Amino acid sequence: MTEKLSLLVPMYNEAEVIDPFFRRVLPILEGLGLDWEIICVNDGSQDDTLEQLWRWHERDGRIKVINLSRNFGKERAVTAALDLACGDAVIPMDADLQDPPELIPQMIDLWRQGFDVVNAVRASRRSDPPAKRITARLFYRLINALAETPIPSDAGDFRLLSRRVCDVLRSMRESHRFMKGMFAWVGFPTTSLTFERTPRAGGQTKWNYWRLWNYALEGIISFSTVPLKLASYLGLLAALIGLSYAGFLVLRTLLFGDPVPGYPSMMTAILFFGGVQLIFIGIFGEYIARIHDEVKGRPIYVIDSTRGFAPATSGQPSAASQQQSEM
C-alpha cells in the first residue's frame, strides 16, 4: 500500500493566490510517488475563495474542501483539517506560498528516515520589517524562558507531522490553540531544515501588531504559569521591605519623636502597590478568562459543508458526524 500525504491549507480571503498556489504545489505532489490529498479549509472568507476551491475540487477530487461556518482563525481552521486528514504524514502550510512547497520532498525524505516531526525553520527574517524582527526575537526569548517545553524559534506552522503525532494532536481539544507550542509539546524524534521565507505571493497578511501581541499573550499564558507565580514572589519581596521599613519607622519615632513627615513616601507606596495589584488582577483575569472558555467546552470549529470526503462507513468520520461528536 502506498503511503499518503495530507496537505492542510487554511484559507481566509486568499482568492488571489489560489490559482498560483495549486499550479506550484500540484506538480511537486505528483513527483513524490505517493498518494496525496490537499485539504483546504475556507475560514469564513468574504471573497470568492470558496467558489474557487469548489472549482479546483471538480478538476481533481484529491483536492478536498472544508467550509467553516464563519471565520474561526488559522489555528482552528488547521485543526478542522487535521481532524479529517487521513495521511500517514501531514503538512500544514499557508496558502500564500510563503512556505515553499519545494521543501516537501526533503521533508518526506527525513520522515522516511524515521523522524516524526520535520520543522521548517526560517534561515533569516530578511523579508520582515525591522520592528517585526525585533519583536519576534523578544517573543521567542521570553516564551522559551517561561514555557516548560522549548519552542523552536522561527519555525512557523509549516512542518511535517507523522500519523502518531497527528493522533496525539487530535486528542488535544483545548479551545485556546497555540499551535507552535502544541506541536512542540507532543515530542517524538524531531529534526528541522532551513529555508528562506519570501514575501507573500499576493493578497495581504491578516496579522497586525495588535493580533501579534494577542498571539504572543496566548502563547505565554497557554504554556506557562510563571506570570502567576510572579505575584507571590513580588508580594513576598514587598512584604519584607514593608516590614523592615515599619521597623525603621518605629525605631525612629522612639528615638526622635514624630514630626509628621512621610506624605510623599506614603503616596508612593499606595500608588505603586495599587498599580502592582491591578496588574496582577489583570494577569489572573487572563487565566480565568481562559478557564472560562475551556470550561464551556464548545466545539473548536463548526463545519458548514465539505466536499470530497468519504461518508462515515469508510472508517474515517465524515464531516457531519465529526461535527456532531464535537458538540
Residue ranges that bind ligand UDP, judged by CB under 6 A: 10-12, 14, 43, 71, 73-74, 77, 94-96, 98, 205-207
Q: Residue 85 CB, nearest distance to Mg ion (Å)?
A: 21
222/176 Cα distance (integer angstroms): 7
State the binding partner of 77 from ligand UDP, Mg ion, none, CB within 5 to 8 A by kind. Answer: ligand UDP
217/286 Cα distance (integer angstroms): 9
Of 194 and 204, which CB lies nearer to ligand UDP in the complex structure? Answer: 204
36/89 Cα distance (integer angstroms): 10
Q: Residue 207 CB, nearest distance to Mg ion (Å)?
A: 8
Site string for Mg ion, 86-115 (x = CB under 5 A): --------x-x-x-----------------
Of 116 and 184, which CB lies nearer to ligand UDP in the complex structure? Answer: 184
Q: Residue 10 CB, nearest distance to ligand UDP (Å)?
A: 3
CA torsion sign, 133 to 205 to 28 to 318?
positive
Count, residues near Mg ion per rule CB under 5 A: 3
Of 96 and 116, which CB lies nearer to Mg ion in the complex structure? Answer: 96
For residue 148, give the C-alpha cell.
516548560
63/18 Cα distance (integer angstroms): 12
Q: Which residue lies nearest ligand UDP, judged by its C-beta?
A: 10
Q: Residue 196 CB, nearest distance to Mg ion (Å)?
A: 14
Of 283 and 305, which CB lies nearer to ligand UDP in the complex structure? Answer: 305
Residue type, 54: W
Is 13 an interacting residue with respect to Mg ion (CB under 5 A)? no
Residue type, 241: I
Is 16 an interacting residue with respect to Mg ion (CB under 5 A)? no
How many C-alpha atoms does 34 have within 13 Å on its Cβ side?
Answer: 21
Q: Residue 92 CB, nearest distance to Mg ion (Å)?
A: 13
Of 124 and 321, which CB lies nearer to Mg ion in the complex structure? Answer: 124
DSSP H helices, the chain, are 15-30, 49-59, 74-84, 104-112, 130-146, 163-171, 179-186, 209-223, 226-256, 263-296, 319-326
Q: Rounded to an integer, what is the distance from CA 76 to the centroid of its chain? A: 9
Residues that bind Mg ion (CB under 5 A): 94, 96, 98
